[in-house]
């Protein structure tokens, strides 16, 4: 999968295989899962005030919390991770 990403190819086949493997292993949501219902009482999830750093090419699910002024770089493309508001 890393070779496909480094070449700029879409990881659809390896991603589908990973998704199936996660389902077989008991992960109910597989690759496409996400946390649900975790909004703290009293906070409006429609007005986020935090940021997360994500894959700059949108090819993988890598994420990091900003903890310095400069974003870490993608291990595949070398680009800085993109900042997205939660």
Query: Which pTM does this prediction carry?
Result: 0.44
**Contact of 63 with 53, CB cutoff 8 Å:** yes
Distance CA 46, CA 64 (A): 21
> Residues 6 or more apart from 65 whose CB is under 8 A from it?
52, 53
Tens of pLDDT along 34-67? 554 555 555 555 555 678 899 988 888 888 888 8
Distance CA 68, CA 33 (A): 28
> Residues 6 or more apart from 30 whose CB is under 8 A from it?
18, 19, 20, 22, 23
């Amino acid at each position: 999968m890393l070779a496909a990403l480094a070449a700029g190819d879409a990881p659809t086949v390896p991603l589908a295989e990973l998704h199936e493997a996660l389902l077989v292993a008991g992960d109910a949501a597989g690759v496409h899962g996400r946390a649900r219902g975790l909004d703290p009482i009293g906070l409006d999830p429609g007005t986020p005030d935090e940021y997360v750093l994500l894959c700059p090419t949108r090819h993988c699910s890598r994420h990091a919390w900003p903890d310095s002024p400069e974003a870490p770089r993608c291990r595949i493309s070398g680009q800085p991770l993109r900042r997205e508001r939660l």
